[in-house]
A = this chain, B = another copy of it.
Amino acid sequence: MLSYSLEKRSDLLPHRAPGSPGHSRQNYLSGKPIRYYRPKGSADVRHLIAEGFQAFNAGRLSEACAIFADKMLAPEHETTIGLTIAGAMTPAGLGGCVIELMDRGLVDFVISTGANLYHDLHYALNFTLRRGSPFVDDRELYEEGVIRIYDVLFPATVLLETDAYIRDFIVRSKLNEPVSTSEFHFRLGLDLMQKHPGCEEYSVVAYAAKAGVPVYTSSPGDSSIGMNIAYHELMNDSRFMIDPNKDVNEVCAIVLAGKQNGCVILGGGSPKNFYLQAQPTLWEVYGIPKGGNDYFIQITTDQVVWGGLSGATPSEAVSWGKVNPGVLPDTVVAYCDSTIAFPLFCEYAIGSQNGRRQRKELVHKRDRLVQALKAEAKAADEKKSQKSEV
């Protein structure tokens, strides 16, 4: 048997001054308010990205910036650009980047998780989300009525009041039939601007309405917005609902109409899938050959090796006809938290010579584009019928 000396730990381990105080119950909501940061196109940031970001994911991010600014935004390409948003970007204050891109005509339509749009409303309604820590006691938060999104903290009443606004809007809107999410978000944005003038500077939903940018949600029941619409149906016997068919067809129609098509994908998830399926819908379902995306930029931390669509490469998308097989050099995935990479990306793009484009205002052209899709699909159908008759 061993008999090395045994001592109590208190004699063994050294102690020192207690250091900074930790997070106490009282100060969960004492952090700095989160604001929508608006990128300005800093020349310094552009220089850092061009000269200092040379390899690995810094290199990828630098490539993504160059592809976006020099190719996708080049006026002669008239690229129709979709932005997809997953991960809690608006709670983290990234909404200002999206607003700036919409304002400058640098994105033409948006596909987002519902949560990002729901939490965007807090800013529009002048509620305050605050910087916090992910290392807090959630049971204490629960007792205190504080809601946590990773390290973003705010009172539970923010949820309840935002819900109350949504339900109030739904009733006032008199919506009583199936609509696309773009239609619903457009009307919501207009209402926000009317009820809270000036709020469009602090709200993606409101600014999108102002700028004519259609905003889609791939999982319409999957957020507090969807929950409140469901409430309206159950409790008020409303016939208002989201019609996912309209979303599918509108996005297809927008992509079909694009002279060139490209995307900026933040995160991955169902918004990524929803954007990318437009091209297969065209050839696989509607029989319309389109040819895949011309540009593909993704900022994500999802890994290809787990096999899911979130982490799937542009290359895998080629086999599905989602990406034009000839353009792989114009596709890039930068592996980085969007909260870091996206503001850098926006600073670069905004400061570039293509930092402003004519807005497409697609929200007002949806019906016409869907009719064009229908006509082309009918024609393809007819051609196929004739062929099989022969």
* Chain B minimum-CB-distance residue to A129: B55
**CB-based contact B6/A157 at 8 Å:** yes
A39 within 8 A of B: yes
**CB-based contact B318/A139 at 8 Å:** yes
Q: Give the interface centre of A15, A52, A286 by most chain B CB atoms within 10 Å.
A: A52
Of B17, B150, B283, B306, the residue contacting A13 (CB under 8 A) is B283
Of B21, B88, B222, B340, the residue contacting A277 (CB under 8 A) is B222
**CB-based contact B222/A115 at 8 Å:** no
Chain B residues closer than 8 Å to A37, beta-carbon distance: 48, 51-52, 54
**CB-based contact A292/B227 at 8 Å:** no
A390 within 8 A of B: no
CB distance from A6 to the nearest CB of B (A): 5
**CB-based contact B56/A150 at 8 Å:** yes
**CB-based contact A224/B146 at 8 Å:** no
Of B56, B115, B219, B381, the residue contacting A219 (CB under 8 A) is B219
Bound-state Cα–Cα, A281 to B343, Å: 33
Of B113, B307, B344, B347, the residue contacting A149 (CB under 8 A) is B307
Chain B residues closer than 8 Å to A335, beta-carbon distance: 301, 303, 305-306, 337
A328-340, CB under 8 A of B: which get 1 and which 0?
Answer: 1110010111011
**CB-based contact B325/A92 at 8 Å:** no
Bound-state Cα–Cα, A366 to B41, Å: 47
Chain B residues closer than 8 Å to A139, beta-carbon distance: 318, 325, 328
Of B2, B19, B329, the residue contacting A294 (CB under 8 A) is B19
Bound-state Cα–Cα, A43 to B45, Å: 10
Bound-state Cα–Cα, A301 to B310, Å: 12
**CB-based contact B6/A161 at 8 Å:** yes
* Chain B minimum-CB-distance residue to A371: B234
How many identical subunits does the complex contain? 4
Of B45, B126, B229, B280, the residue contacting A44 (CB under 8 A) is B45
Bound-state Cα–Cα, A156 to B321, Å: 10
Chain B residues closer than 8 Å to A343, beta-carbon distance: 48, 52-53, 58
**CB-based contact B306/A57 at 8 Å:** yes
**CB-based contact B373/A234 at 8 Å:** yes
Bound-state Cα–Cα, A58 to B220, Å: 29
Chain B residues closer than 8 Å to A19, beta-carbon distance: 294, 324-330
Chain B residues closer than 8 Å to A169, beta-carbon distance: none
**CB-based contact A59/B131 at 8 Å:** yes
**CB-based contact B339/A18 at 8 Å:** no
Interface CB pairs A-B, < 8 A, 13 = A13-B321, A16-B292, A20-B330, A37-B52, A56-B92, A56-B306, A59-B92, A148-B320, A150-B304, A150-B316, A218-B221, A222-B244, A241-B241
